[in-house]
Structures are given as structure tokens and as C-alpha cells.
Amino acid sequence: MMRALLLAWSLGPLLWQLRTSFLLGEVLVGGGVPAGGSPWTLANYRLVLAGDPSLARVLLNSALLGGVTTALTLLLALPCAYGLHHLHGRPRAWISAGLVGAALFPTVLLFLSLLQLARWFGLANHLLALALPYTALSLPLAILLLRAAIADLPSELEDAARLDGLNALQRLRRIVAPLLAPAVASTGLLVFLASWNEYPIALTWLSRSDRLTLPAAMGRIASSSVFTIPYGPFAAATVLGSLPLLLLVLLFQRWIISGLTQGAVKG
């Protein structure tokens, strides 16, 4: 019984949003069935797919930006985490505390500063330029997660590689990185999700319709009408925007679960 209640609590909002995406506007607002026939329709999906911007283009922008951000973050975070792991004493404690503070720092407080930097360097309306602040904001948490995963690896592996004459970069590339594949996958997914869902920075940096990301485009959909709230199109955009994330989680499910549970149990 408890499992059924938890399942209903978790899936209820999702199923309600899916139902809303297939209903006519007058049904959602008025609550009655139109005289012309069925209240169910695909008009909401056709509207968001053919809109300005097209939702397909918006999803492509978000996927491209998320992929670049994830690649940059992991490329920088892995050697940083490896170096942090091999520090000892107070320097490691200070750097770790600084990373925790940076990871918990409210992003909204950086909003105006990032906007001013975008104006100074001419980065407005450059989609991939958003990968720079996104990477900077994602790095602290990524370094902490990967450092915890590195600490869980047996030290004997690195000792043996050191005796074989491998330097630090070779040990990272040949020994540590392959063993951290699950942790890298789970960390990468978290970075991708943060980039996919980021709203205020994208809203201010991007004004051209063909450069919008999903949250910024959905903000336009929500404010597209002055007198009515477009519940149906907004729900349709939400459903379509969730499908790539669902597919991504299903594809990397095994690695994600392994990465999230790495270090939870030590024998």
C-alpha cells in the first residue's frame, strides 16, 4: 500500500502534465467537453513544434550547450580532483572548504556580474559562450564528487603504476580515469541536467529566437498571451523537453547507479 502511494505521489504530477498536453484550451479553462466532439488534441504539440522558435531547434540548442558544458567540466574537473586528492594537510582542507562554499553559493547573486561580462566581451547571443559560466558554476561540485570517487580507489593500483615508471598524468589517464567511468558518467549527467535546466543566465544572454535554450523558450511560451495562460502548449513543451533526459538516463542507467553508489559500502 505504501509503495502504491509513493508511486502515485511521484508519477501523479507527471501524468497530469501529460494529460494536460493533449487537452484543448477551452477544456482546461472551462472544464467542459466542446460541442464539436473529443476534447483530446495534438494541436498543442503542433503549435510548439512549429512555433518561433521551433521546439526541435530549441532542444538541439540545449543538447549542444549541455554537451559542450559537460565535456569542458569533466575535462577540467578530473585532473583537479586528482591533484586535490594527492594534496595533504591544511591545503587540501582549505581548498575543499572553498569548493564546498562555491558549490553552495547562490547563482542568482552572480547574475548581474555575468551579464556585465557578457556585454564587455561581446558574448551576448553566442550560444556556446554560455558554456563558460556554466562550466565555472559546475566545476566545484564536479571536483568534489570526482575527488570522493578517487579516494575510494585502492591506493595499491597507483603504487604499482608508480613503480612501473608512470608519471602523474600517465597514471591519471591509464589507471584512474578508466576506473572512474561510473563516477564520471553520474557527474556528467548532473552537469548536463544543470545546464539543461538553467534559466536566468540563458534568458539574459540570449535574445535571438534561433539561439534560445529550452527554459528560455518555455518562458516565452508562458508569456505568449496576455489574457490567457497557455496551459496546453506549455505542458506539451514540458513533455517533449523531458524525453531527451529520460532517454539519457535510460541509456546510462547502469553507470549512473554504479557511480552514485560508489564508495557507499566499503568491505
Residue pLDDT, tens place only, 3-50: 888 888 888 888 888 888 888 766 766 655 555 566 788 888 888 888
Highest mean pLDDT, choosing among 70-74, 183-187, 202-206, 246-250: 70-74
Over residues 248-253, mean pLDDT: 79
Q: What is the pLDDT of residue 266?
A: 46
As a whole-number percent, the residues of the chain with pLDDT over 90 amount to: 17
Is 228 within 8 Å of 105 (Cβ atoms)? Answer: no
CA dist 81 → 72, 89, 114, 179 (Å): 14, 16, 26, 14
Residue pLDDT, tens place only, 116-174: 888 888 888 888 888 999 999 999 999 999 998 888 888 887 778 887 778 888 888 88
DSSP character string of 65-83 = HHHHHHHHHHHHHHHHHHH
Select the more confidently predicted residue: 25 or 190: 190
Model confidence at 176, pLDDT cuts 50, 70, 90, reads confident
Q: What is the pLDDT of residue 39?
A: 73
C-alpha 180/C-alpha 183 separation (Å) is: 5
Q: What is the pLDDT of residue 65?
A: 94
pTM of the model: 0.84
Locate cell 553566442: which residue?
126
Q: Does 267 have pLDDT greater than 50?
A: no
Q: Does 264 have pLDDT greater than 60?
A: no
Q: What are residue 23's DSSP bridge partners?
A: 40
Is 149 within 8 Å of 180 (Cβ atoms)? Answer: yes
Over residues 206-225, mean pLDDT: 80
Is 192 within 8 Å of 248 (Cβ atoms)? Answer: yes
Model confidence at 265, pLDDT cuts 50, 70, 90, reads very low
Q: Which residues contact 70 (CB under 8 A, 6 or more apart)?
A: 188, 191, 192, 195
Q: What is the pLDDT of residue 173?
A: 84
C-alpha 196/C-alpha 245 separation (Å) is: 9
- Share the mean pLDDT of the chain: 82
Helical H segments across the chain, by residue range? 2-21, 25-30, 43-49, 55-85, 90-104, 111-120, 131-151, 155-163, 168-171, 177-179, 181-197, 200-205, 214-222, 231-251, 253-261
Q: Is the dihedral of CA 244, 249, 250, 251 positive or negative?
A: positive
CA dist 64 → 41, 103, 143, 255 (Å): 31, 24, 22, 22
Residue 248: alpha-carbon gap to chain centroid: 11
C-alpha 263/C-alpha 267 separation (Å) is: 10
- Tell whether domain 37-261 is in CATH 3.90.76.10: no
C-alpha 55/C-alpha 61 separation (Å) is: 10
Main-chain dihedrals φ then ψ at residue 141, nearest 5 degrees: -65, -40
